[in-house]
Amino acid sequence: MSRIDGRTNEELRQIKVTNDFTIYADGSVLIEAGNTKVICTAMVEEKVPIFLRGENKGWVTAEYNMIPSSTMIRKTREMSRGKADGRNVEIQRLIGRTLRSIVDLEKLGERTLWIDCDVIQADGGTRTASITGAYIALIHALEKLKAKGLIEDMPVKTSVAAVSVGIVGGVAMLDLCYEEDSRAEVDMNIIMTGNGEIIEIQGTGEERPFTKDEFARLMELAEIGIEKLSEIQKDNV
Amino acid sequence: MSRIDGRTNEELRQIKVTNDFTIYADGSVLIEAGNTKVICTAMVEEKVPIFLRGENKGWVTAEYNMIPSSTMIRKTREMSRGKADGRNVEIQRLIGRTLRSIVDLEKLGERTLWIDCDVIQADGGTRTASITGAYIALIHALEKLKAKGLIEDMPVKTSVAAVSVGIVGGVAMLDLCYEEDSRAEVDMNIIMTGNGEIIEIQGTGEERPFTKDEFARLMELAEIGIEKLSEIQKDNV
Amino acid sequence: MSRIDGRTNEELRQIKVTNDFTIYADGSVLIEAGNTKVICTAMVEEKVPIFLRGENKGWVTAEYNMIPSSTMIRKTREMSRGKADGRNVEIQRLIGRTLRSIVDLEKLGERTLWIDCDVIQADGGTRTASITGAYIALIHALEKLKAKGLIEDMPVKTSVAAVSVGIVGGVAMLDLCYEEDSRAEVDMNIIMTGNGEIIEIQGTGEERPFTKDEFARLMELAEIGIEKLSEIQKDNV
Amino acid sequence: MSRIDGRTNEELRQIKVTNDFTIYADGSVLIEAGNTKVICTAMVEEKVPIFLRGENKGWVTAEYNMIPSSTMIRKTREMSRGKADGRNVEIQRLIGRTLRSIVDLEKLGERTLWIDCDVIQADGGTRTASITGAYIALIHALEKLKAKGLIEDMPVKTSVAAVSVGIVGGVAMLDLCYEEDSRAEVDMNIIMTGNGEIIEIQGTGEERPFTKDEFARLMELAEIGIEKLSEIQKDNV
Amino acid sequence: MSRIDGRTNEELRQIKVTNDFTIYADGSVLIEAGNTKVICTAMVEEKVPIFLRGENKGWVTAEYNMIPSSTMIRKTREMSRGKADGRNVEIQRLIGRTLRSIVDLEKLGERTLWIDCDVIQADGGTRTASITGAYIALIHALEKLKAKGLIEDMPVKTSVAAVSVGIVGGVAMLDLCYEEDSRAEVDMNIIMTGNGEIIEIQGTGEERPFTKDEFARLMELAEIGIEKLSEIQKDNV
Amino acid sequence: MSRIDGRTNEELRQIKVTNDFTIYADGSVLIEAGNTKVICTAMVEEKVPIFLRGENKGWVTAEYNMIPSSTMIRKTREMSRGKADGRNVEIQRLIGRTLRSIVDLEKLGERTLWIDCDVIQADGGTRTASITGAYIALIHALEKLKAKGLIEDMPVKTSVAAVSVGIVGGVAMLDLCYEEDSRAEVDMNIIMTGNGEIIEIQGTGEERPFTKDEFARLMELAEIGIEKLSEIQKDNV
């Protein structure tokens, strides 16, 4: 029995990466995972936040947002609500933390990499698509720095990609679309390096607790997905 | 003597309209004017703001924003600055006012049309492209309402398009790109109906006052531009 | 057929200027246009915003606000609403831009002129009265700077005044009061120098688009008004 | 030995009350105490805050603000600072509490009296002038309600006025101007009814603690001032 | 080789639960884990948020905050910073989600359980202590509802507790104190039911990615900790 | 006839002071007055606010807050309401002003003392308990500075304590609990030094004005209370 969109449980949605999607950012990528579309950009600023001044280290920070028309029910802008959206805050902290963990901040030098993930269409998996796309944008931005002679070596320890997995109707599945996600009993986002090591796991029993066996099955699926995504990344950097 | 990008003074940049650019909004258009790219969407909400309840009238409201990577120097998000950007406020008021002036709010019925203009790349003329594109998105949204039988006739009095004109180095020009705009002595945005009537004029002597003759020449150019844009709109609705 | 208050269509309301209305500001003017009353002040601060530091240039910035009792329905304070009022933002940007366009910022030296326009009674035309009055306050403040020997010449290129015009019930009129303004089909604010050159035009078809002929008639009326206002300004600086 | 401005220690500054200072508020007073000038208005709103709905009681609330040019050093607007000014908050709570204590809220009926005190020039004693002037504005507004037949009797228990006293250079003085206030060792604001009963006392040892004897002397001075202010109020209601 | 505070790697810090720590909340617990101290309370409100009205379901929501003196470097209050603290937002979303997952919202009826976790001393593991303590406070509040006859059965599916684990200096450890946490290479928070099922896993490779074997060892430690905490909970409900 | 809790009118509630209540602050006190419980802490920061830089003076500033579960009806956090609570603002200004008046800021040197008063249970008199407790925390913090050799002498001029008094049902009483306070006709907070001199008086006729005789009786009661509190303070510093 196949899924809503005909995929098997071990199958990613179609991933499409458009490099140089816009012209001003040092790295600019449109990543599409099925109907999910995120503009991921990396921009270099030649200074660091106050808490790092004079430490000979760089910084990587991320912001995540959704345009109002990206969701079925129009998403009110944070500025109109008058306060930050908790989910956005959580996601941008995750993206920033993830990218900092694979960048050698000493080698980066006293500069900041601003990562922006702006979702223009959301059909589940926007945070994982953001991370997967942001890695590509970050590499492009660093390559420009290297081409200009501002850094000698690429200050990146490893590649990183992210994918969602979950249990829907009792069945473990890879890369949930919105409709699957909204019915999922268990929902997990996994971030791994290209070598199959874990950078972050966030698993939630939305509807019920889950067992270690279920967890193990979800990890298996995630590894399949990450491997595929890592290959796609390699083709785009 | 031609312009930076080889255009004559009476020439628009290349305009490209992609209909149905995203899938959730009732109307969704990507409008490109040269390197300026704006996602314009229209979403219907089946209620009106408090001040209109029970008046048997609808409402049209607009929001305008730029994603951080849309500009050469990364644009800080309003939420990070902690307050609304004055320019955004001014522009979204202009877009809303313009569209309300061509919609028959009684015929629209008690519902709100949310117009969102999200700039993903900015090379001058983002507010005029927003208006030109938003008109198309609005028509698409209204046509869906009509197809569903929620309205009988299209509640639109006329089409509307907008263009910028300006005096750069003493020369009057149509449709300024960012580099022209930043050097302009006089800068004007003109919003007109498809019949050549005026809806809004905003002209500013940025570097010096201007004469009525100069104003007349700018109006001529604007009319040329609006006529062209109105044709493009006709092809897309 | 005369207007609500007995004026002809080419007539300004009674303009009254009280110089030195309050004692602390370097320039302080109460301007009255009929029932509209605005306190316009100019205060000198011996530093410039960060973006101008070390550029040997000055800055002129403006803020506009209405006290709650200035309007028939009490106007909620921005602080109580928790966010800036879009109309205020738009108007103060206009006032600042206008005054900057007539001040020679290099000659002003590294200092800021703070212009404050606080409306204490609003009967239409508050933004144009603000500009007309602020020009006088600004001249007074600059004269004090000159008297103290802080500047050599007056760093002002020309005088500037502003007036509203509009079409009400099909008739073009000068200097609309609130009741006229609220019924206006077309509403325009025009800012001109004492020499009859244009600094800013903002015209809006509130209820319907307007023609170029109508526009020309409105310009004529505006010129009549500006000429009169410029004379009043001359008597007060 | 007389004071800066030649007054004796038991003397108020010149008090001037202009009734009907502006035209929209139900009560509108300009009160001047020497160089201190405050616009005090009362506006009636025919509803009450949520917490009072259906209780057959009215409400009195106050807001206090200073326009930026009211002080020697320009006062930044709350909206520009992005947060409420603690001193404003404290003062408006005091004004509201004071006026509520003399109004019979049951008799007022389900309506709100909005009191606004907008300081246009500040030379010490703005909070006490605000209270003294607001009482007059409130009476005017209530008289209009009565004239319209909306209330039967005046819902006011007693008159109320306020004055500052302080110890400057070891000497107890009535009604401090800014220069005295800024050098005061002890500073007290006293609010009393027309019958000499106390409504509020706020005394602060700014520079040093004070004794009960000093307190008694300050109370004597305050009573002299309040008696005088109550007479002025009687002449204006 | 033992840890900073002499514990083995499989040992929790001393856990102390003080029931009825304060008197107003329906459930009020002070939970201490070593030097970490959190006041966890549950308060019942007899209404639900707008999005649940009329659905015959209840709601559980949580807020988390630290008092400024709870940390070695004084923690600035959110209100003084002018915006929500991202970490707080993330943690309170986690607490709310966790408790909702074990409460039967239908059985709870149309009421809201407000969970507050206020950290008064922070030495690592504040979010996990908050969850462990909040569960106890929630049970106490529900028991009061039951004693009053407002609910028939306890609407709780299972108990829930949380613990942190991490890899410090290459060694996997249970229940990190602040000093361990700040040097941890891998940091994980695990939330499990009393039956050993997983509700949430959040694991982060702070300094380096981690392997599946390391993950398995951390899970083992977490299970040891949760089992112990579940017993302590049983003794306190 | 005795009071709700059996006290005489001249009796304080039971006062309990726990020193070193938490471990990070330089001074940390839990003060309890009956059911009112406040954590008062003092933390030293080795810099001063901008307006004092280079003046060879220190600063004392205070913040006051209540945790949501401290009151019978849950108190919404300021961050959730989106703006500062007026009462909090007023109280923290009072605490800061009081402590600054007894500290010799020159002797303190260029450093800031941050005073935090976090109410964990509120049964009336939280602001006076905060001041009484904050004085003790401040002394502890200064003693640590002295022990470290950072200051030579204790920069404190005198001790300070605060108490509430009021008239309830026509009877003057010392140290009101919440139930008494909510029914009080007159409510007063008095802050005095250990020598019986006055630092601040804030008296309000909540329900009716009060006479000078009533005021005198309230002062007598306050002196009795302050004397007792000063002794308790002496035992704890």
The tens-digit pLDDT sequence of chain F (237 residues) is 579 999 999 999 999 999 999 999 999 999 999 999 999 999 999 999 999 999 999 999 999 999 999 999 999 999 888 888 989 999 999 999 999 999 999 999 999 999 999 999 999 999 999 999 999 999 999 999 999 999 999 999 999 999 999 999 999 999 999 999 999 999 999 999 999 999 999 999 988 999 999 999 999 999 999 999 999 999 999
Which string of DSSP letters, residue by residue, matches A215-233?
HHHHHHHHHHHHHHHHHHH
| Closest partner CB to B198 (pick from C83, C90, C205) | C205
DSSP structure class, residue E209: -
| Closest partner CB to D22 (pick from C80, C116, C120) | C120
**A-chain residues near E158 (CB < 8 A):** 209
Distance of residue B52 Cα from the nearest chain A Cα, in angstroms: 19
pLDDT for residue A79: 87
C abuts E (3+ Cβ pairs < 8 Å):
no
* Residue B83 confidence class, pLDDT cut points 50, 70, 90: confident
pLDDT in tens, C127-137: 999 999 999 99
Tokens of A111: 């500069």
DSSP structure class, residue E192: E
Burial of F195 (0-12, 13-18, 19+ CB in 10 A): exposed
* Residue A1 confidence class, pLDDT cut points 50, 70, 90: low
Of all residues in chain C, the percent with pLDDT exceeding 70 is: 100
| Closest partner CB to B215 (pick from C90, C101, C198) | C198
Distance (Å, rounded) from C-alpha C218 to C-alpha B145?
Answer: 39
Residue E125 labeled ligand binder: yes
**B-chain residues near C184 (CB < 8 A):** none
Residue type for A156, please? V
**A-chain residues near B35 (CB < 8 A):** 23
**Chains contacting F (3 or more CB pairs within 8 Å):** D, E
Distance (Å, rounded) from C-alpha E92 to C-alpha E73?
Answer: 22
Residue A105: pLDDT above 90? Answer: yes
Residue D1: pLDDT above 80? Answer: no
Fold of A15-235: Ribosomal Protein S5; domain 2 (3.30.230)
Residue E82: pLDDT above 90? Answer: no
| Closest partner CB to A211 (pick from E92, E197, E200) | E197
Largest Cα separation within chain D, whole Å, is 59
**Chains contacting E (3 or more CB pairs within 8 Å):** A, F
B abuts C (3+ Cβ pairs < 8 Å):
yes
pLDDT in tens, D55-71: 999 999 999 999 999 99
Indicate which of A201, A214, A218, A221 best probes the interface with E, i.e. most E CBs within 10 Å of its own CB: A201
**DSSP-based three-state secondary structure for C186:** strand
Indicate which of E197, E213, E220 best probes the interface with A, i.e. most A CBs within 10 Å of its own CB: E197
**A-chain residues near E221 (CB < 8 A):** none
pLDDT in tens, D17-67: 999 999 999 999 999 999 999 999 999 999 999 999 999 999 999 999 999
* Residue C189 confidence class, pLDDT cut points 50, 70, 90: very high
Residue in D with minimal Cα distance to C82? D79
Contact C25 D80 (CB under 8 A): no
**B-chain residues near A65 (CB < 8 A):** 67, 77
**D-chain residues near C121 (CB < 8 A):** 22-24
| Closest partner CB to F116 (pick from E22, E68, E121) | E68
Distance of residue F23 Cα from the nearest chain D Cα, in angstroms: 31
**Chains contacting A (3 or more CB pairs within 8 Å):** B, E
pLDDT in tens, D118-157: 999 999 999 999 999 999 999 999 999 999 999 999 999 9
pLDDT for residue D74: 97
| Closest partner CB to E210 (pick from A83, A197, A215) | A197
Distance (Å, rounded) from C-alpha B12 to C-alpha B14?
Answer: 6
pLDDT in tens, B13-33: 999 999 999 999 999 999 999
Of all residues in chain C, the percent with pLDDT exceeding 90 is: 94
pLDDT for residue E1: 59
Of all residues in chain A, the percent with pLDDT exceeding 70 is: 100
Residue B107: pLDDT above 80? Answer: yes
Which residue(s) pair with F59 in the sheet?
F112
Residue in C with minimal Cα distance to D121? C22
* Residue labelled with tokens 């040092």: A26
Distance (Å, rounded) from C-alpha A230 to C-alpha A195?
Answer: 9
Average pLDDT (E30-57) is 96
**E-chain residues near F116 (CB < 8 A):** 67-69, 74
**B-chain residues near C203 (CB < 8 A):** 198, 200-202
Of all residues in chain B, the percent with pLDDT exceeding 90 is: 93
Distance of residue A71 Cα from the nearest chain B Cα, in angstroms: 6
Distance (Å, rounded) from C-alpha E210 to C-alpha A195?
Answer: 11
Length of chain A: 237
Distance (Å, rounded) from C-alpha E233 to C-alpha E21?
Answer: 16
Residue D54 labeled ligand binder: no
**F-chain residues near E74 (CB < 8 A):** 25, 43, 45, 114, 116
pLDDT in tens, C226-235: 999 999 999 9
pLDDT for residue D80: 87
Contact C198 B211 (CB under 8 A): yes
pLDDT for residue D105: 96
pLDDT for residue E2: 78
Indicate which of F46, F75, F76, F79 best probes the interface with E, i.e. most E CBs within 10 Å of its own CB: F79
Distance (Å, rounded) from C-alpha C190 to C-alpha C204?
Answer: 12
Among residues D203, D184, D212, the alpha carbon closest in space to that of F188 is found at: D203
Which string of DSSP letters, residue by residue, matches chain F?
---TTS--TT-PPPEEEEET-SSSSSEEEEEEETTEEEEEEEEEES---GGGTTSS--EEEEEEEE-GGGSSSPPPPHHHHTS--HHHHHHHHHHHHHHHHHB-HHHH-S-EEEEEEEEEE-SS-HHHHHHHHHHHHHHHHHHHHHHTTS-SS--B-S-EEEEEEEEETTEEEES--HHHHHHEEEEEEEEEETTS-EEEEEEEESSS-B-HHHHHHHHHHHHHHHHHHHHHHHHH-
* Residue labelled with tokens 């407000």: E114
Please give the annotated binding residues of B for phosphate, written as ranges.
87, 125-127
pLDDT in tens, D71-103: 999 999 998 888 889 899 999 999 999 999 999
Contact F79 E78 (CB under 8 A): yes
Distance (Å, rounded) from C-alpha B94 to C-alpha D153?
Answer: 50
Residue C1: pLDDT above 80? Answer: no
**B-chain residues near A35 (CB < 8 A):** 23
Residue type for B231, please? E
Residues of A with a Cβ under 8 Å from any B Cβ are: 22-25, 28, 35, 37, 39, 41, 43, 45, 63, 65, 67-72, 74, 77-80, 84, 114, 116, 118, 120-121
Tell me if C53 sits within 8 A of C107, measured CB to CB: no
Distance (Å, rounded) from C-alpha A28 to C-alpha A8?
Answer: 31
Contact E74 F116 (CB under 8 A): yes
Tell me if B102 sits within 8 A of B193, measured CB to CB: yes
**A-chain residues near E84 (CB < 8 A):** 83-84, 86, 89
Distance (Å, rounded) from C-alpha E83 to C-alpha E133?
Answer: 27
C abuts D (3+ Cβ pairs < 8 Å):
yes
Contact C69 D116 (CB under 8 A): yes
Average pLDDT (A44-49) is 95
Tokens of E146: 């039951």
Q: Number of CB pairs < 8 Å for C and D?
A: 86
Helix pair E126-147, E86-102: axis angle to 10 deg? 40
**∠ CA F34-F38-F41 to the nearest 5 degrees?**
145
- Positive or negative, the CA dihedral E215, E216, E217, E221 is positive
Distance of residue F41 Cα from the nearest chain E Cα, in angstroms: 7
Distance (Å, rounded) from C-alpha B42 to C-alpha B29?
Answer: 9
Parallel, antiparallel, or unpaired: how do β-strands E198-205 and B59-66 relate? Answer: unpaired
Distance (Å, rounded) from C-alpha E200 to C-alpha A120?
Answer: 29
Which residue(s) pair with C160 in the sheet?
C193
ipTM over 0.90: yes
Average pLDDT (A128-137) is 98
